[in-house]
Amino acid sequence: MVPAIALWALAIGAQAQEESGALRAGDLVGDARWYLHVDFVELKAGRVGPSLLEQLDAPAKARIDAFGAMVAFNPFEDLDALTLSGRQVEPERAVAVVRGDFDREHLLKIVPAATGYRSEVVAGETVHSWLDEKSPGGRLYAALPEAGGRLLMGPDFGLLSDLLEGGRENAAGGRAVVVEPLGGRPPIVCAYADFSLLAEVEIRSEFVRGVRSVELAAGESEGRLLGRAKAVTGDGRTARLLARVAGGAVALAEAAERLPAGTSDGLVAEADGDRLLVQGEIPLASVDRLLKDLESLAKNR
């Protein structure tokens, strides 16, 4: 299901938060327990976006170009934002909201050709669906509100319908959600997770069991990659332990030359009661090496 959402994603201060790629309340399902948002306007405005594009191999670029040609959409230029949100722990049950400058009429012409296509009206908007073997229920649902510039998609008809019902008075998606800037700019990526979702998952780590919720953000400013994590824990002891662990991990990575010298000097890792704040930055020149280290670590797990 997630690959299908990603494929369609390719198809199509508070004042700073009003940019077109900002996270918007109307793009989150009601009572969302988690979300992930990528601001492609901000991503393309800096150095990180072009750098990631350069790292795509030729076959990947060719597939994206071919798909873009089919749906009359250039994902490298026309995509503004992607938001995933849900109420359950499984990401494949999320609803995706894609914002961009895509040809709505063209998409409406090609969608009915999908296998098992059918449609129904919800809150004055047409919900399209087709057979998809990777979806939990065997079908994928999508809506292209008449206001334009927005695509809603997911495998859960009820969840997608709730999103349409909640936003029917403002099809543009509502006001921007205020996410604290990083280095004076909106974050490129921001995320939130309610850790009570993990109650039915076996968690062995005492640290993870002690966390109630987490907010994450990453952005770019003046040649630096900035990151921030905020957490609400069950008690002050857990917050203090996590702050020490974060500081120690960065110091070890710096000593092993996995992070640039001086990274720990600018690190903020502090607890305030049951709340934790970890914030730091590294030069963009160090990002490529860090990504390679993480890729190597993932392969060796």
The contacts of residue 26 (CB under 8 Å, 6+ apart) are 166, 167, 170, 172, 173, 174, 175
At residue 126, the pLDDT reads 93
At residue 170, the pLDDT reads 38
Name the E strands within the chain.
Answer: 34-39, 79-86, 95-100, 118-122, 125-131, 139-143, 150-154, 189-194, 211-221, 224-233, 268-272, 275-283
At residue 57, the pLDDT reads 65
Contact 122, 143 (CB under 8 A): yes
Which H or E run includes 292?
helix 287-299
* Nearest Cα residue to 232 out of 261, 284, 202, 271: 271
The contacts of residue 116 (CB under 8 Å, 6+ apart) are 129, 130, 131, 139
Query: In this structure, how many other beta carbons lie within 10 angstroms of the beta carbon of residue 22?
Result: 26
At residue 272, the pLDDT reads 95
Cα maximum dimension of the chain: 59
* Nearest Cα residue to 245 out of 228, 274, 269, 210: 269
Residue 167 structure tokens: 């936003």
Which H or E run includes 53?
helix 48-54
Return per-residue pLDDT of the chain as tens, 301 residues: 444 444 444 444 333 334 478 888 888 988 888 999 999 999 888 887 777 766 666 777 777 676 666 666 677 778 899 999 998 877 778 899 989 887 888 888 888 999 999 999 999 999 999 999 888 889 999 998 887 688 899 999 999 999 998 754 433 444 556 688 888 888 999 999 998 877 655 555 566 778 889 999 999 988 889 999 999 998 899 899 999 999 999 999 888 887 888 888 889 999 999 999 999 998 887 776 666 666 666 666 5
Query: H helices within 225-286, ranges in order?
Result: 236-255
